[in-house]
Amino acid sequence: MSKKQIVLIFGLLALCAAILAYPLLTIRDSEFGGADGAAEELITELNPDYEPWAESLIQLPGGETESLLFCLQAALGGMVLGGGFGYLIARKRYRKEEAA
């Protein structure tokens, strides 16, 4: 890989990070509720005296950030699985070529 390609790749990664960070920092009071919110409502309905034993370390600016982080987690997992399977397939293919 040339130096120009490496700089381009890191520039695109920085752009992706900026695109991801912008909504996290600017969008406030979004209307979104997930399974965690529904479970919390049900628990307080069943037992109004219940006190949670753990709290979030950080407060996210909006509800959509939870779904964004979940999607990023799923994408990262997909990349790890895809890379792992690609490595295994390529390793098998190159072993056959070396033996021939």
| pLDDT tens-place string over residues 13-41 | 999 999 988 877 787 776 656 677 788 88
Note every long-range contact of 20-24, with CB atoms under 8 Å and residues 24 or more positions apart, other chains counting. Answer: 20/68, 20/72, 23/64, 23/65, 23/68, 24/60, 24/61, 24/65, 24/68
Q: What is the pLDDT of residues 53-93, one digit of tens each?
A: 888 787 777 767 778 888 999 999 999 999 999 999 888 88
- Interacting residues of 29 by C-beta distance below 8 A, sequence separation 6+: 62
